Amino acid sequence: MTKRPSRRTILHTIGAGLALGACARSAQVGQSASLPGGGAQEPPKGAPPEAPGQDDIVLPPGGVMPTRPLGRTGVNVSLVGLGGFHMAVPKDEQESTRIVRFAIDHGITFLDNCWDYNDGESEVRMGNALQEGYRQKAFLMTKLDGRTRAVAEAQLEQSLRRLRTDVIDLVQMHEIIRMNEPAQIFGPGGAMEALVAAKKAGKIRFIGFTGHKDPDIHLATLKMAEQQGFTFDAVQMPLNVMDPHYRSFEKLVLPELTRQGIGVLGMKPFGGGEIIKTGAVTPMDCLHYPMSLQTSVVITGCDSMGTLKQALKAAYTFQPLGNERVSAILARTAELGAKGKYEQFKTTERFDGTTKNPHWLTTAKV
């Protein structure tokens, strides 16, 4: 078995620059035509675009991945983050390894994961992919479901073993989606005790939380933290072209994170696949919109080389969207987004893993 990288080695090498590899050869899909304000072309009429194949995207020669500060942590991360759930989607683990390593070789340093994703298989595959020196090039994040100290500690130890590392850069409380949960995790014997202790022990570097249901729950969690004299290092939340129109994390939570110097992790740029089905926006719109906000990283799931190259191209070609372009995008999505129809993580239980699997909150068994 390959020896786990030490915490000292990871801290020494995490900021090292990554070599950018050669680009794919073939016709372009989702190419952005230049419009005022750095925007993409108008979306095609008719059926929404299919997911690109690995030969459908040509990466710009010499493309460079932009990086941004992760709040006040002193760490810079890649503008695009690789979503962890999709690591177990390919049937062949070798394809998962290929995706992870291609992403890192082409500038993606931020890797997302979670203790419960695909019953732990996503962490196992990512841990295997990060061997042979790749762990030292990555900023690794995972998430825990346990709401008590004992359960969170047990889940963390499992994640460390699966990911084959001695230290995880960022560990977040997963799916804070109920109004009673901020008090629960910060209360006596709550999960936050486990994360703070793990940070002191050098098992994790930074602490955050995630949620996708309601910005008021995020704000309640931030308020509870402030009352406890604690400040999160990072917070993850949905940021996409539909969000401004319904229960908006962009409008309500983003300003507070910016005020506190907390790293902003944008997720669900495609709304779990629903937004692109509308045909109202292009894939590049979906990625460039949250990149134009005060985000540290935009996390997107890539279950194929085609979707990975699409995300890389979005980062390589990114220019902040101007006011005119943003206004046009929001005008096209206003009616569609008004009731949260295309953000089902806000309006249904489809994305609520801990609702469907409540034992994840109380045990270390997936």
Phi-psi region of 326 (alpha: psi -120 to 50; beta: other; left: phi over 0): alpha
Q: Is residue 275 part of a domain?
A: yes
CA 208/CA 218 separation, integer angstroms: 11
**Residue 79's pLDDT is what?**
99
- Per DSSP, the residues of 231-250 read --SEEEEE-SSSGGGSS-HH
- Specify burial of residue 38 (Cβ count, 10 A radius: 0-12, 13-18, 19+): middle
**Residue 118's pLDDT is what?**
96
**Residue 49's pLDDT is what?**
62
Q: Which domain holds residue 235?
A: 67-361
**Residue 54's pLDDT is what?**
78
pLDDT one-digit tens code per residue, 322-331: 999 999 999 9
Number of structural domains (the chain) is 1
CA distance between the termini of the chain: 25
Residues 147-165 have a mean pLDDT of 99
Q: Is residue 158 part of a domain?
A: yes
Residues 263-280 have a mean pLDDT of 96
Whether the per-residue pLDDT at 136 is higher than 70: the answer is yes
For residue 78 the two structure tokens come to: 């890649």
What pTM, to 2 d.p., does this model score?
A: 0.87
**Residue 194's pLDDT is what?**
99
Q: Is residue 44 part of a domain?
A: no
pLDDT one-digit tens code per residue, 90-123: 889 999 999 999 999 999 999 999 999 999 999 9
Q: Is residue 131 part of a domain?
A: yes
Q: Is residue 316 part of a domain?
A: yes
**Residue 365's pLDDT is what?**
92
Q: How many CB atoms lie within 10 A of CB 230?
A: 14
Read off the CATH number of the domain in which 218 is found.
3.20.20.100
Q: Is residue 195 part of a domain?
A: yes
CA 182/CA 136 separation, integer angstroms: 33
Whether the per-residue pLDDT at 124 is higher than 80: the answer is yes
**Residue 48's pLDDT is what?**
53
In 3D space, the residue among 124, 126, 98, 102 whose CA is nearest the CA of residue 112 turns out to be 126
Q: Is residue 37 part of a domain?
A: no
Higher pLDDT, 364 or 33: 364
**Residue 129's pLDDT is what?**
98
Band (pLDDT 50/70/90 cuts) for residue 53 is confident
pLDDT one-digit tens code per residue, 225-254: 999 999 999 999 999 999 999 999 999 999
Whether the per-residue pLDDT at 339 is higher than 70: the answer is yes
Whether the per-residue pLDDT at 313 is higher than 60: the answer is yes
pLDDT one-digit tens code per residue, 182-199: 999 999 999 999 999 999
Q: Is residue 28 part of a domain?
A: no
Whether the per-residue pLDDT at 47 is higher than 90: the answer is no
